[in-house]
Amino acid sequence: MSRFDELEKRAEDIGNRIIQLIKEGKTILVVGHLDADGITSASIIGKVIQRKKGHYIIRIYGEMSQQVLEELKEGEYDFHIFCELGAGLAKEMENALKDKWIILDHHQIPPEETKMKQVFNAWQFGFDGGREISAAGMAYFIAKKIDEENTDLSWLPVVSMVADRQDQGKRRSVFGLNRKILDDSVNAGLVTVVTDLLLYGRETKPVHEALASTTTPFIPGLSGNRDACLATLSSTGIQLKQNGRWRTLADFSDSEKKKVMESVIPYLSQVETASEAVDSLIGEVYTLEKEDEHSSLRDARELGTLLNACGRMKRTGVGVSICLGDRSQALQEGEKVLSEYRRTLNRLIHTLLEDEGRIVEKPGFNMVVGDGIVDEDMLGSLTSILSGVAWFESKVLLARTTTAGHYKLSLRRPPQSDSSINLSLILQELSSLHGGSGGGHEAAAGGKIPTSQLKAFLRALNKRLQKKDEGKG
């Protein structure tokens, strides 16, 4: 049973501790993960400290490890706040940092961490952190307890919840604690909610480019193919240009949007879950009202992708600056990074799908081999997109790539698969048994294992997932 009152009390206690640290003149290191949720959650905490005239530094990491903890231990920081990083590593943090740390997270945690007061995690209070709230949402509850005026930061968790694919309610809506936060943002005039077509870049891109950029769902023949999208939309008779300017989806009438939808349906008919794919193209759109029209920051999903791009392309400072309010140089840089990120993803997707030697089918899962061509920071984003390709709809998808002495792994559970498959718990257990580390959410997880353990790990994973499949009947 969920216990929101207990969550709020813990948020208040942590908020009071942060205020005390600020009063004592302490320097606080805010450590975030490199994805949109890590960047937004770290930015919320940083902004709150800034508003109270405190001393803070934000650093973004791709993962938390013993090596990183040793580096932090040698640093000259009085306190450490980990945002969307460190779940499952509380004991290691205690050893390295004594009592000078707090973790804000929403990933599943081992039983021994559920009682720890230095861990602030949705699962401790009976909430599903994989679907009901992001790390930025947890940070927001602390911010609100520190000062009610921090409600003006509620747009940041809205960005992170959709970036983290928590829009799993009816018509791609958010629910649970996310809905509480969304309501705050709507009531503050920061976000508006409408039901519409969910094409990527609906505010900023010509419609044919927006359609080509849409990868959730992945549309065979259209996703990543601007020329095919232009030809398809031109055949509908829709006016794609006006006064010499390409029109965006936001410029279209309802009848024109209906024609766009009708033109896409034939391409989705080849997907096994065609009706679900069609449905997923229509849903709640979250518009950030304080941002300029036709800006890449205007649509929450688009901004989430931009922040993910900054993290994955090793430009995390740009993403943090945007979250903290920079709308000049950082925004320009962010848009360049986003373009490069999308080009890189499209190139990788086509390279992997065209090389059958990189697709390995096991009885319990499908595996995509990114060794030598996929950067480890890009692996999670790539796996999320590939999991929407019809080829991989029937089984768990595992994507891998090489990194120094290890294999980086990313797993996704397809929506129609056995819901009893908890990838977070499976990866936590199996990676630990094979000298690595891992975790995440029920339907999306990631980790690392030593190179020498790959074959043994894959055998164990295959065996575990086959057992799950056999138990479905």
Least confident range from 50-54, 65-69, 412-416, 453-457: namely: 412-416
With a CB cutoff of 8 Å and minimum separation 6, the contacts of 223 are 212, 213, 214, 215
Name residue 8's amino acid: E
Distance from C-alpha of 188 to C-alpha of 191, rounded to nearest angstrom = 8
Q: Report whether 305 contacts 202 (CB < 8 A).
A: no
Distance from C-alpha of 454 to C-alpha of 459, rounded to nearest angstrom = 9
Band (pLDDT 50/70/90 cuts) for residue 468 is: low
- Which of 243, 233, 191, 237 is closest to 210 using CA atoms? 233
What pLDDT, on the 0 to 100 scale, is given for residue 470? 47
What pLDDT, on the 0 to 100 scale, is given for residue 372? 93
**Are β-strands 396-403 and 365-369 bridged in parallel, bridged antiparallel, or unpaired?**
parallel
Q: Is the pLDDT of residue 314 over 80?
A: yes
Taking residue 367's Cβ as centre, other Cβ atoms within 10 Å add up to 22
Q: Report whether 173 contacts 131 (CB < 8 A).
A: no
Query: pLDDT tens-digit profile of 126-149?
Result: 999 999 999 999 999 999 999 999
- Which of 378, 401, 376 is closest to 454 using CA atoms? 401
Paired tokens of 352: 């992997």
Q: Is the pLDDT of residue 272 over 60?
A: no
What pLDDT, on the 0 to 100 scale, is given for residue 342? 87
Name residue 466's amino acid: Q
Helix/strand/coil (H/E/C) assignment for every residue in 64-124:
CCHHHHHHHHCCCCCEEEEECCCCCCHHHHHHHHCCCEEEEECCCCCHHHCCCCCEEEHHH
Q: What proportion of the chain, given as a percentage, has pLDDT over 70?
A: 96
Taking residue 306's Cβ as centre, other Cβ atoms within 10 Å add up to 24
Band (pLDDT 50/70/90 cuts) for residue 273 is: low
Q: Is the pLDDT of residue 377 over 60?
A: yes
Tell me the CA distances in angstroms from 320 to 114, 275, 324, 334, one per residue in order: 30, 38, 6, 10
CATH 3.30.70.270 fits 4-170, yes or no: no
Residue 284 φ then ψ, to 5°:
-70, 130
Q: Is the pLDDT of residue 469 over 60?
A: no
Helical residues (DSSP H) of 389-451, grouped into ranges: 423-433
Q: 3-class SS at 432? A: helix
Band (pLDDT 50/70/90 cuts) for residue 473 is: very low
Average pLDDT (307-327) is 96
Q: Between 111 and 82, whose confidence is greater?
A: 82
Residue 408 φ then ψ, to 5°:
-90, 135
Q: Is the pLDDT of residue 158 over 80?
A: yes
Domain ranges of the chain: 4-170, 200-337, 355-470
Paired tokens of 341: 């990120």
CATH number of 355-470: 3.10.310.40
Q: What proportion of the chain, given as a percentage, has pLDDT over 90?
A: 73
What pLDDT, on the 0 to 100 scale, is given for residue 471? 46
Average pLDDT (16-42) is 97
Band (pLDDT 50/70/90 cuts) for residue 219 is: confident
Paired tokens of 73: 């231990």
Q: Is the pLDDT of residue 376 over 90?
A: yes
Helical residues (DSSP H) of 273-362, grouped into ranges: 274-279, 300-312, 316-323, 329-354
What pLDDT, on the 0 to 100 scale, is given for residue 217? 76
Q: Report whether 200 contacts 213 (CB < 8 A).
A: yes
Q: 3-class SS at 448? A: strand
Distance from C-alpha of 342 to C-alpha of 74, rounded to nearest angstrom = 37
Q: Is the pLDDT of residue 348 over 70?
A: yes
Q: Between 400 and 442, whose confidence is greater?
A: 400
What pLDDT, on the 0 to 100 scale, is given for residue 466? 85
| HSE value, Cβ hemisphere, 13 Å, CA-based, for 302 | 27
Mean predicted lDDT score pLDDT of the chain: 91
What pLDDT, on the 0 to 100 scale, is given for residue 245? 93
